[in-house]
Structure 1
């Protein structure tokens, strides 16, 4: 086997009838093993008027070891802080990712806090997954003319260990995708055959938090003062936008993460173009995670199932949780938990190949360069 294989295992979680916390959907869960070895999901629970909480559920497995259901255990976070609240009683704690950070012997959660100012990245910490302490919003210093202050930001996740920054200093690192004005897929979609991508404003970034090697407490986290532009839209399936997905996990080849890409499907009728969210794989160097070793030329997961094509937002698969199946003696198997059409949660199983597939990595030039995105061929959008 010399390529990434992914098999859908099916629908895992959908809104519970009569549950007011879930009338707008359950989606985009974090996935993490607890101190007891059990697997827990932290899904976004959407109530009326898009009021979002982060729930907690224990995953159930069948005799073959495949995920087959969940046991709901309540709410981990709901909007309380000023940076999570909007006007008229609205608010949001959304799209969590959770990483067990070895240095702290703690779980760190990154999530989207949705306030009057729009979406921002917030952090919380826990020892047991059931009791969470907010650490506040992540803040970012400017970098080579790119100012992150006041910019919407989402889809953040942390590395589980300190990694070297551009100067080789070991620091806590975050994957994130700032949403600069004009870079939403609804804004980048156009009728031109090809477009130019602003690398600084349309990329996934790695940002680094200064930290001492000993004695740092999680409460001191939050300031990210050095940055590296990691990846930008290149392939047709990600032509309009790319963004973070699952947190980075170590594999035989290096750090692996799934990420999402967006393109526009050509309409089959007079309804107009529809956005399509798919998922790909990225492998980063173990020693130097700023270096991409592999990146999907084609998506490994696209919305083809009815649960993925019909929902609150059509045509969406959105990976956010990942679980290495060492518990059943399969270290190259990773279960992927993903949002389906912003309404439900699905799960798929992916096998990491013995060798990385041969690929031509996209070439990105100087920091302020722009690159063309190749348009989708007509047959790919039929």
Structure 2
């Protein structure tokens, strides 16, 4: 049975310090009229840092853009737009009243020689996570939606359910049976009301936590080396962490790809509190997004070692409190630039902020 883990709330020795807004919508660009937000970031083989923002046009239709990150003294201060990296071009990326390629995350996996982009393909059946890969962070080829392996022991077919906030680990890690694997974090949602409006939330037989939570799954590394499309077929699903504190009482989800630190794997994540009215797929007016962190065991990344009891960041600035969805800080990338780690995050679903991730002095 997949039950919530014992609380590990404690002090995680990292802090996030705001630096400012790095990208805001261009009022002259139709593809950005409803916001720029929730970006991926990647440094290409030539050392240029690229931002991959979600661009939202009229009607909440999204594309993944591309922009060069401009720095002053090694600190990101702005961007130079460079077109579209990925736009809806498949049936599973657009449909109904809403559509698009949304909320990308990018992990560079050196062992595969690949940049792996996860993104939300919002198509006819709601949000599904899809993958695209690249050798150079410029040209991307789709691998398609994730197809989670069925787990009979848990009576669990994750492919049936909407899933978001998917990120890959940048290094090979051990699966529960010790197999060297490519691991990914994800957040299944048990609400099927997008396709069945009269459907109540009904948990699979082996699931005890009804609130959206962080899970971990694995793909054997040897399988991926033989066929990169194996990345879309994860297995060995495990519940990792669910909501614990008041500031994350509704749901939690992974943010950027886990970062290797001396203590283990540092996962920056988001937590949501407030009230959900109706379906989770409709815009909400009374929600509050904050940022937390947890440390995962390097020998078994399905095990949480420590977790913040209080958030590292909450909406405080006008740009974080006011926007398409008020009161949102939504981290989606951590990138090392000239020896410093910078967090890129969505602000109120409208613009993009940058902050620095630092280790707290003891």
Give the TM-score band, short-chain normalised.
0.7 to 0.9
Q: Is 1:110 the equivalent of 2:140?
A: no
What pairs up with 1:326-345 in 2 under 5 angstroms? 327=338, 330=339, 333-345=340-352
Range 206-215 or range 172-181, more displaced: 206-215
Equivalent residues of 1:204, 1:231 under 8 A apart: yes
Match of 1:192 in 2: none
Equivalent residues of 1:44, 1:54 under 8 A apart: yes
Paired with 2:267 and 2:219, the residues of 1 have a C-alpha distance of: 20
What pairs up with 1:306-321 in 2 under 5 angstroms? 306-321=318-333
**Post-superposition offset of 1:198:** 4.1
Superposed CA offset, 1:302-325 (max 9, x none): 001000000000000000010124
Match of 2:133 in 1: 125
SS of alignment partner, residue 300 of structure 2: coil
What pairs up with 1:169-248 in 2 under 5 angstroms? 169-181=179-191, 198-199=208-209, 202-212=212-222, 215-248=225-258
| Equivalent position to 2:360, from 353, 360, 372 | 353
Q: Is 1:275 the equivalent of 2:252?
A: no
Superposed CA offset, 1:208-255 (max 9, x none): 123417842323331112111100100111011111111111112111
Paired with 2:222 and 2:172, the residues of 1 have a C-alpha distance of: 10
Shift in CA distance, 44/273, structure 1 to aligned 2, threshold 3 Å: closer
Q: Is 1:19 the equivalent of 2:29?
A: yes
Shift in CA distance, 211/183, structure 1 to aligned 2, threshold 3 Å: farther
Paired with 1:225 and 1:4, the residues of 2 have a C-alpha distance of: 31
Equivalent residues of 1:264, 1:273 under 8 A apart: no
Q: Identify unmatched segments of 5+ residues in structure 2.
A: 1-10, 195-206, 276-283
Count the aligned residue pairs. 330
Q: CA RMSD in A?
A: 2.3
Equivalent residues of 1:183, 1:202 under 8 A apart: no
Match of 1:288 in 2: 300
Paired with 1:293 and 1:102, the residues of 2 have a C-alpha distance of: 26
Equivalent residues of 1:258, 1:279 under 8 A apart: yes
Equivalent residues of 2:43, 2:137 under 8 A apart: no
TM-score scaled by structure 1?
A: 0.82
Match of 2:91 in 1: 82
**Post-superposition offset of 1:34:** 1.1
Equivalent residues of 2:66, 2:82 under 8 A apart: yes
Q: Identify unmatched segments of 5+ residues in structure 1.
A: 185-196, 266-271, 356-382
Paired with 1:149 and 1:36, the residues of 2 have a C-alpha distance of: 37
Paired with 1:96 and 1:232, the residues of 2 have a C-alpha distance of: 22
Match of 2:168 in 1: 158
Match of 2:69 in 1: 59
Match of 2:150 in 1: 142
Q: Is 1:255 the equivalent of 2:265?
A: yes
Paired with 2:159 and 2:192, the residues of 1 have a C-alpha distance of: 16
